[in-house]
Structure 1
């Protein structure tokens, strides 16, 4: 019998990163942290190729900072996003024939066709938790309230979505994945307990935002004047895609208590989506027309001006992978932050220490946090300092790149093909 042949793992890896959204360096966006990590890995001697859909500059190919990126939505102009997975597989094969990839990292579910053939290509593939529907389950679970009718309704909906998504998507992804990257211990526990995905192949890699500038941005008096906000007013800010009503509804109802006690307080809501008109109607129903500013869509590059203007930042929207970059930027700016306890952010925020946590449906707790923040019963300066310090420790680019590479090497050592 032939002796076991030890697999040789190269010191310098040839990496393929796949994501529908992969913003070019310098461009703000949901996955703006990916390019800096790829760039850092290249600077350490590794080779990184990116396969993505489109970019704001309409470029088909980009070789920047040693990172090679292919944007298939511009290469195949007549193709639709529904064909992205097939086109991605095709592009991967072309590149793989030229130089074999050591590992494939799919941020979303796009890499599934490659995963189904990983044994043929002899290349392990990692998926981020974003490829699954776990964020939906967490958000639904957070809506549960202390009454039997609501409990039954929410958990029936949760069970239904779990069955549908698991059969349609999650089962195949988890079956084919060599490993899964998660950004919180809660996600890790759910994968093992409810999806029976082995913890041995789950990696906690808490990347999620490109933070390189920790300087404080001053409030813009021009912007404050433009929004007709009183000079000494406390300003609350939330950014939402308005796909779910629960978080915004809870926030508006909790904020109404604050507005009664301190009429100069203002709540800015940025975002657009299917529930925009419902939110407008709720603002009027709660008699908050003078206190709530609905701005609709604001370009990503302008969001920092609004974060700097605010005193308190609230994020009650579920995030499937990584962290809410706007909330992270608010922490960098030493703002008081209030986050949902079902988001990955809950692994960052320690309640009453560097921010506040609440269930999106818990109006009473949210109201208490808002009142404490507006009336400074919890020292805002101390909370802000600790919030910035937390981000500084966790989202150092060197640390994020090292954690990612360590996980890559670990996957290769375990030979999970």
Structure 2
């Protein structure tokens, strides 16, 4: 494929950090390494963008919600439109159908500038009494997007339910999140890492935002069962922060497991890698996960995973090969015990986990699939602009003084 000029758009980018933010950064970096020109379009924020290997354009809209890291408005879209006229992008790739910036730019791209657009959906909608209204809004706001990417079959199914007949003949491609296998990799001296971090015995790690949907509150109860059988020979590490932290702290006290459950709070990626290097098992109690980037990081580090077989995690973990999957929390405990008791199983699954990530989820495996979607999207784009915009263009041609938008 010849070199492309690519716009990646999302509200969620540095300086905020998370799965989508690092996904965009890693995707952009690897696209640049393959000879493509990449521009990231995002919200305002204080970050040393000049040190990045691609260009970053930041815009502040009239509507700003700092708690959600969102900023959008017609003024920002007008400035983004000027950027499009100047740069001449070949394709736009938005990230998250729940990002106003991603959706707004994707619609501007395809509906005004005639540049094909694709949006990757990284999330599941979830349950809310507002869902019917929200789904109607999503269907309306996504109707000009040329094609979609879902990070798992679970997310694709969710999108099919959301879009319904509004999907029409547009494609939803399934491409998993990629991972930097040079950064996330096994550590040779696990016991040395444990000693350096002040840990001993078996280490079971969980990395997650502390919300009800992630179900991290289950871990103190699991730890109580494990403590009854193994005493203090098993340590549980919970890495992350969020609104459920105080509840989890209360449960740690209630189940009397403060000696074996360590609530470490939010940690930088470098520190998370160290803890995974010292881990024997990764535990994921969630039953509602779109993909599971934290699980993928553990697998890349050669750590076998114990998880509930729901959502996207069941598409990442190969039961009996890279981890053990259960249908409920009782099965979760049984599988955890099985791995604690069997060192050979842990070692074999850890090796399989690393190999599986290299084959399926490394950026070297993922980026060519993304580029294939770009090519198909550009070939299939209908080039039909917004009716209102075409009417405006006709007015501009007919009456020099006419101007609804300065597009």
Which interval holds the TM-score relative to the shorter structure? 0.7 to 0.9
312, 322, 328: which one aligns with 2:296: 328
1:12 aligned partner: 3
Q: Cα distance, 1:319 vs. partner? A: 7.9
Give the RMSD, CA atoms, in angstroms. Answer: 3.1
1:120 paired with 2:89, answer: no
1:219 aligned partner: 190
29, 32, 35: which one aligns with 1:45: 35
What CA distance in whole angstroms lies between the structure 2 residues aligned with 1:344 and 1:199?
25
- Structure possessing the higher relative contact order (Cα contacts under 8 Å, 6 or more residues apart): 1
275, 283, 290: which one aligns with 2:252: 283
SS at match of 2:370: helix
Structure 1 residues 40, 287: closer, same or farther in 2, change over 3 A?
Answer: closer
Q: Cα distance, 1:405 vs. partner? A: 0.8
Structure 1 residues 290, 199: closer, same or farther in 2, change over 3 A?
Answer: farther
- Structure 2 residues not aligned, in runs of 5+: 384-407
Q: Cα distance, 1:334 vs. partner? A: 1.4
What CA distance in whole angstroms lies between the structure 1 residues aligned with 2:104 and 2:214?
36
Structure 1 residues 87, 208: closer, same or farther in 2, change over 3 A?
Answer: farther
- Maintained 8 Å contact 1:208/1:323: no
- TM-score, normalization by structure 1: 0.78
Q: Cα distance, 1:344 vs. partner? A: 2.4
1:299 paired with 2:268, answer: yes
- TM-score, normalization by structure 2: 0.80
- How do residues 44-123 of structure 1 correspond to structure 2 at under 5 angstroms? 44-53=34-43, 58-59=47-48, 61-62=49-50, 64-65=52-53, 67-72=54-59, 81-84=69-72, 86=74, 89-108=77-96, 109=99, 110-117=101-108, 118-123=110-115
Q: Cα distance, 1:346 vs. partner? A: 1.9
How many aligned positions are there? 371
Structure 1 residues 242, 399: closer, same or farther in 2, change over 3 A?
Answer: same
- Structure 1 residues not aligned, in runs of 5+: 1-9, 138-157
What CA distance in whole angstroms lies between the structure 1 residues aligned with 2:280 and 2:44?
35
- How do residues 393-408 of structure 1 correspond to structure 2 at under 5 angstroms? 393-408=359-374
Structure 1 residues 124, 39: closer, same or farther in 2, change over 3 A?
Answer: same
- Maintained 8 Å contact 1:236/1:314: yes
Structure 1 residues 260, 198: closer, same or farther in 2, change over 3 A?
Answer: farther
- Maintained 8 Å contact 1:219/1:308: yes
SS at match of 2:275: helix
What CA distance in whole angstroms lies between the structure 2 residues aligned with 1:390 and 1:198?
35
- Maintained 8 Å contact 2:151/2:174: yes
Structure 1 residues 17, 115: closer, same or farther in 2, change over 3 A?
Answer: closer
Q: Cα distance, 1:15 vs. partner? A: 1.1
What CA distance in whole angstroms lies between the structure 2 residues aligned with 1:311 and 1:179?
41
Q: Cα distance, 1:313 vs. partner? A: 0.9
SS at match of 1:379: helix
